[in-house]
Amino acid sequence: MMSLVLTLVAQRDATPLDDATIALARDAVDGAQTITTLSAGEAVDIPCPATAVEHLPALRAAFGDRPIDAVLTHRDARRKHLLVSDMDSTIVTNETLDDLATYAGIGEKIAAITARSMNGELDFATALRERVALLKGFPASLLEKAWKDVRLNDGAKELVQTMRQHGAHTALVSGGFTFFTSRVAALCGFHENHANTLVIDQDVLTGETGHPILGPDTKLALLKNLATQHALPPEQTLAIGDGANDLPMLKDAGLGLAFYAKPIVRNAIAAQINHTSLRTALFTQGYPASAFSGD
């Protein structure tokens, strides 16, 4: 029984998804002969049996250094009705707190703490407090400077707006700050956004955050609460993230996607986007490129 679907997605500018590559993948997972083209030369769906899970690591290895992602999903409930996504290094290319620190002249010091936190080496709340404390006394105007450097990842608008158009509820959640999430959410079209707050006194950063701190447990709770509010079973939810603080929600979602993730996340989450864009989060739900909305 073909209970799973293998979605192959190639990095469009680097390598074509040709017939030989598709055949290699189909044979590796004992896939069906009938495939669905989602985007010519870019993405296909291949129905396959449950045993495909065992062959996925070997298939990824067989692609070598070719930028092709292979993601397995269940055939049922592929199109999700709730999206909860991380922001930094997921929806945007940036780590916004690190960018803010760069303008304060302490970029390397804060980036080192960020890296350890995202790799799961430091408790998230402790790491956040340490980093924000280092910003004490700097002008709040640095936030605007950092905002000018923020760039959306390829496919971010398409992901959010396509899912919205097809009836999904979308939420942006970040261990960063509402100053950035509110603006990123507006750019992409998220229904709502959640993040931490920076305490500012007379246009100066106090080195403190508002309470409680939004961390991994809060991200998981948001996923669960929104699913309940919208009367959705877990299998109809999608979570996307890259760092250790995203792991609880990635594990709990019907589909948890690790996006260019840290090693601790890649080791725990099977569905991974390592080579392509956020368009892949739509392809894995069975959306053809012709159904995409947004830029």
Q: Give the residue numbers marked as catalytic.
A: 86, 88
- Residue 173 · residue 85 · CB < 8 Å: yes
- Residue 263 · residue 118 · CB < 8 Å: no
Q: What is the CA radius of gyration of the chain?
A: 20
Alpha-carbon span 218 to 214, nearest angstrom: 6
Distances 72 to 39, 54, 64, 91, 216 between C-alpha atoms, Å: 17, 11, 19, 22, 25
- Calculate the dihedral angle through the C-alpha atoms of 250, 172, 10, 292, rounding to the nearest 10 degrees: 130
For residue 265, the 8-state DSSP code is H
Alpha-carbon span 93 to 99, nearest angstrom: 11
* Closest of 85, 86, 113 to residue 97, by C-alpha: 113
